[in-house]
Structure 1
């Protein structure tokens, strides 16, 4: 397991690290294609989504925290199909973080995008976009936490 990461996210990072750069890009594309559609309530009310303006491509997300004592977080993303890098990053975060507790998400290191090993294959601006996605998720979780 990769140090400091929740199990699902650790497995994803290890999958990326086990590949060479071209194959990492292919895996990112697969995450792009696997990004789930928005649930009906968000499709009907897109105003509930928050734009991550730091992303080069229009990316919107919703961070829902349930009322359980663990404060389980559910993540929803919307990004255009013609933006596979952005969608891929969103897919990694959705698969790696969705269903975790607020505390677990806040404990995720900020360098997750770098750990994927894409820094030479992806532009710095796109890497900052993924960092911004994670940062936005963590800020929203922090703001939504109850004591």
Structure 2
């Protein structure tokens, strides 16, 4: 069954409670909270996968632990606040979740933020592509374990 974990559900609720005209500003607030890459990844950017569907350069990597807890890491330039914002939403809502919780996130999760009228369809596709990459990397790592 497709469902949102509590952290991601709280973020979606936060967006729904903000007037539509202010949702883009909320996304920009999230963009300022995107964590930096840890040293083991910052020193090896080649380990990250580019999400080419994003209009701005965005790279990500997923690490699934032996306990199936998932860590998410993103790299996006400061001059790409929309892309950074969505990456930060995913980091805040999914980092530390179980693989099962991540795989259960519905494909329409980006649309649930209520940004479809504020952002172009191309940007919305980029957001969906980030989620798709995360799920694919989780699935691949589970299969390899």
Q: TM-score, normalized by length of structure 1?
A: 0.94
Give the count of matched residue pairs. Answer: 143
Residues in 1 aligned to 2:13 and 2:20: alpha-carbon distance in whole angstroms = 14
Give per-residue Cα distances to partners, 1:68-113, cap 9 Å, x unaligned: 2xx0100000001001000000000000000011111001101110
**Aligned match of 1:51:** 50
Give the unaligned 5+ runs of structure 1.
Answer: none
**Aligned match of 1:72:** 69
Q: TM-score, normalized by length of structure 2?
A: 0.96
**Aligned match of 1:127:** 124
**Aligned match of 1:8:** 7
Residues in 2 aligned to 1:76 and 1:137: alpha-carbon distance in whole angstroms = 10
**Given the alignment, which residue of 86, 110, 115 partners 1:113?**
110
CA RMSD of aligned residues (A): 1.1
Q: 26-35 or 3-12, which moves further after superposition?
A: 3-12
